[in-house]
Amino acid sequence: MIRKRFLPLRGAKIVAWTVAAVAWMTAAIAGRVTAATTTTQTAAPDASASVTETTTQTTAPALPQNGLVVIRAGSTNSARGVQAVQTQPQQTVVRRVVQTPTVVQTPTRQRSGGS
Amino acid sequence: MHSDSFHAMGTTVTVTAEHAPSFTSVRDLFDHVEQVCSRFLDDSELAEVNRSQDEAVTLSPLLTDVFDEASNIRALTHGLIDPAIGGLMKAWGYDRTFEDVVDLDQAPILPVDDSEWWLEGCTLHRTPGLEFDLGGIAKGWTADLAVQLDLAPIVNAGGDLRSVREATVVDIDDPSGGIAASLHVGVGALATSSVAKRSWTVAGRRVHHIIDPRTGTPATTPILSASVIADRAVLAEAGAKTVLLLGSEGLAWADQQEWIRAALCVWNDGSIYATAGVTVA
């Protein structure tokens, strides 16, 4: 009886301490991100950083029906001066190995940077 | 293959061709279309349309073709890409060629959005006073035309590119610097739309040139730049801008469009995502 009553209590305590620890770590990481952001903005404001005032803090794109290719999963928020929560790409992404196409002509390299 | 560049439509146009005469022909074509479609040249046909307060205006064949394409694109993008944002662009201070745009002290009073337009033959009907901006459409449309007329196999108008060469590879600029990805385009088109380009200050806030017609304000999006591969440059440009405007839903939307082969986004946390149709070179 005693054992049966003790175990649920112990389990609850473990859960409570785990939640508290995760919350503390999250707060600590968020604090560091904010600090890094503030420092960057003060030190080197640039046009591209200020443009991001109009960007939103969305974690990742909605998953396309035919899968999502993650070419780079990175976080450069602090470097760009964006106050954003550090995010990871969605767990449901489809990673895809892409083959280089067979080229019969000499490759012609162009560039596209947006207009 | 040789490349040569010139300035037209407020951007750099690069022509890749076997023979030098192609460059002159493409330049002449861009100059001609700009003379018709620019809202910054006082004597252009579009400037005249924008100045007119008439409800119905008869267009030249060229401007009719461009408006016809704009109408098609408006339907494909559910109204997100609409040339009838000329008044909004003006209100936000983009009322002259971008090099001359100046910062504004006060936020604009936006025009009321109860306007409409449609094309009937070569007659443009619109709510009197409605102004148009064909800047985004005209570049891709002209690049397409130059290639279709066989003036050159590859024409790149400020990143809106059309190619008939199977081996064409495009390096997508990363807004943070360097190359985000190199994509195989081959016979087709690619365009990139970015909020990191063409920005200025309004009431102390940084704004960019991609206006969301749903809000009348510069787009709020987690995407720094979006690239789309399609059959034609004018479609790729419209697709890229739509992906950017749709934000987190953009790639899922692009994936469902038959006219879009692939799309790629640089996210504001530096991540790079693409639809499954993309072929990395």
Give the integer Cα–Cα distance in Å for B115 and B129. 9
Long-range contacts of B43-51 (CB under 8 A, 24+ apart): B46/B132, B46/B134, B49/B124, B49/B132, B50/B86, B50/B131, B50/B132
CB contacts of B154 in chain A (<8 Å) are: 108, 110
Instruction: Judge whether residue B84 has pLDDT over 60.
Output: yes
Arithmetic mean of pLDDT, B72-91: 91
- Among B199, B225, B278, whose Cβ lies nearest the Cβ of A47? B199
Query: For the segment B218-229, what is each residue's pLDDT rounded down to a tens digit?
Result: 888 999 999 999
Residue A19 clears pLDDT 80, i.e. is over it:
no
Residue with tokens 């790149």: B156
pLDDT at B21: 73
- Are B139 and B83 spatial neighbours (Cβ–Cβ below 8 Å)? no
Contact B248 A87 (CB under 8 A): no
- For this complex, say whether ipTM is above 0.90: no
Most confident of A60-74, B26-40, B190-204: B26-40
Helix (H, G, I), strand (E, B) or coil at B164: coil
- Interstrand relation of B117-120 and B168-173 (parallel, antiparallel or unpaired): unpaired
Q: How many helices (H) and strands (E) does chain B have?
A: 7, 17
The residue that leads in pLDDT, A99 or B210, is B210
Spatial neighbors of A40 by CB under 8 A, at least 6 apart, are: A49, A78, A79, A80, A81
Sequential DSSP letters for B7-48 = EETTEEEEEEESSTHHHHHHHHHHHHHHHHH-SSSTTSHHHH
Closest CB to B139 among A79, A105, A115: A115
Distance CA B241, CA B222 (A): 13
pLDDT at A101 over 90: no
Token code pair at residue B107: 């936020």
- What local confidence, expressed as pLDDT, does residue A34 receive? 41
- Per-residue pLDDT, averaged over B244-262, amounts to 97
- Contacts with B222 from chain A: Cβ below 8 Å: 55-58
Domain boundaries, chain A: 1-44
Cβ contact (<8 Å) for A113 and B192? yes
Instruction: Work out the minimum CA distance from A41 to partner chain B, whole angstroms.
Output: 14
User: A76 to chain B, minimum CA–CA distance in Å?
Assistant: 5
Say yes or no: domain B2-274 is CATH 3.30.450.20: no
Arithmetic mean of pLDDT, A85-112: 52
**pLDDT at residue A7 above 60?**
no
Q: Which residue has the higher pLDDT, A10 or B35?
A: B35
∠B7-A48-B200 over CA atoms, to 5°? 65
